Structure 1
Amino acid sequence: MVPFIEKVADVIGDEHCGFQTIAEFMGFTEESHIMIHRHLIQELKDHRDDYVEDGCPLPPSSTKWHNHNNEDAMTWEDEYLDQHDLFRDLMIFEKGEKPPQPKKESNKAEPILCDTPEKAMQQFEVIGGR
């Protein structure tokens, strides 16, 4: 891979290192990582549909993401649980491991109906003047 590496950035190894690397490669200083972070978040908000495809396998979020995500992104992970499952299945296949058992089909087409009869409304007499 060495012939394909064009530049190496030695940034501070913390939770901002990805943003610091982008800043440095764009000609800014490492300290510009906050600006890069804000611009990337705004880009994702403005063009979310351009980055997300239905049925596209997505790796699960980092465990640190829960500690550092934006309030606007709190529910994003829940929206992609099916895509996380697709990614896990793909990784199992790539590793040559035994494929997971097929998931049972949903019963949405034939929902279970409760045949419990509805009780008649009862009238109650109010006692004591409140």
Structure 2
Amino acid sequence: MSDLTTTIAALPYALPACPNARIALFALRRMGAHGPHDARASHALFTAFGQDFRRPLVLMRALMADLAGTAEGTIAIAPCCCSRMTAAERSLLTILSRIETAPDSARYLLGDLLGVRRVDAVMASVAVLAMAFADDGRPICV
């Protein structure tokens, strides 16, 4: 198998065109790899949201903790420098973009991602994070 084929198999999706989704993805990747108090993730959210950065930062940290505590398996994330996304990252961004308009679809995707049936607590974390982005004029779209 060539290197390109291997890369596309591991990272099947292109990065989202939506800049808000890219901010969320960057913070997700940094916190997933380096912990919830990663300075670069904090700085990215500070740069994007200005003085109102604390709300999305705290909610992203809470979502990451909920995902880690609820998932039955591992959730594949790529390094920040990757120009493509894993299927799990794509699912999470899709869930964030659908939580308000298609909550049933978001619930099914989240259940599949986490490997559990009861996802209400994580759904709440997803909803408030998506709302924090939208309230600041940065809705996440995929």
TM-score, with structure 2 as normaliser = 0.22
- Mark the structure with the bigger radius of gyration: 1
